[in-house]
Amino acid sequence: MSNFPSPLLPRLTVLGAGPGDPELFTLKGVRVLGEADVVLYDALANNDLLRYVRPGAPQVFVGKRRGMRSYGQDEINALIVDSARRYGHVVRLKGGDPFVFGRGREEMLYAEQHGLLTDYVPGISSAVAAAGSVGIPVTHRGASEGFQVITATTATGELSAAVTEAARSRTTSVILMGLSQLERIVEIFSQNGQSEVPAAIVQNGTLATARLVTGPVAQLPERAAAAGLGAPAIIIIGEVARLAKADAGVPTVFSELLSYAEVA
C-alpha cells in the first residue's frame, strides 16, 4: 500500500526496473507504474516495462548510458520537481536497484528539499542477478565466503580507489561500469597477485542476448575484445567464476568447472 496520504500531492517514487529481463520486475513495480502520472525512465530500464504505464501518462526518456545523449543529473533533478508540480506522481524508473550505484537516494533527497513526498521500490540488482543468470553465484560454500560490489568509475570519470581495495581482498568482487576501465582493473588485480584468479564478464545479463567471457584475470581484456563485448556488462573476479555455465551465450573458456565435491 502507498505511504502517501493523497495521490494529488506532488510526489516521487524511485522504482527499480531490475536487471533486464522484464519477468524479473516486481509486482509492486507493476502497480506503481500503473499509478504514475508521468514516468521518467533510463536507458537501462527495459522498455517492455512501459506497457504497465496507464494510457495517457507521459513517458520521458532521460538516457543515462555511457556514450548516449542524455540529461545531466542536475537536469533530471529539476525535471523530477517540475514534473511533479505539473502532473502529480512522478515515477523514476531506473535499471537494477536504484540504491546500488543508481543515484536513487540522491534524487529523492533533492525532491524532498523541494517539498515532494518520496518513496522507494527496490529492484533486483544486476550485481547479483547478471552473475547468477550465467551460473555464477556471488557466494558459494568452499569458494567464496562473501562478496563486494563496487563501481569502477567515480563521478569525475576516474578509476575508483575501491578497485585497489577489492584487489587486496580474496572475496568475490563484482565490478559495475568497469568495461571501459578493464585494462587498468586487470593491471591492479595483477599487481596484487590475482592475475591467474578466475574471472568473468557478463554482458546483458538475464536477457536472451546475454554473452559471457571467462578466463584468468590477466586474459580478460584480450578475450573481451575478441568477443566484441560491450556495455552494459559486469565483471566478476573470484573462484566462483569457475562455476559459469558453458552454454550461456559466448562459450566459457575454462576447460574444467568446479564440481560440487570440490567446493562443498
| Residues marked as catalytic | 42, 64, 177
Please give the C-alpha separations between residue 119 and each of 96, 105, 221, 248, in angstroms, as whole numbers: 16, 10, 40, 36
The grid coordinates of residue 138 equal: 556471488
3-state secondary structure of 90: strand
Phi/psi at 27 (nearest 5 deg)?
-60, -40
Report the distance separating Cα 191 and Cα 201, nearest Å. 20
Whole-number Å distance between alpha carbons of 172 and 149: 9
Is omega for the bond preceding 19 within 30 degrees of 0, making it cis? no
Euclidean distance between CA atoms 195 and 217, whole angstroms: 5
Residues 6+ apart with CB under 8 A from 168: 192
Angle among Cα 226, 229, 230 to the nearest 5 degrees reads 145
CB 88 within 8 A of CB 37: yes
HSE value, Cβ hemisphere, 13 Å, CA-based, for 164: 4
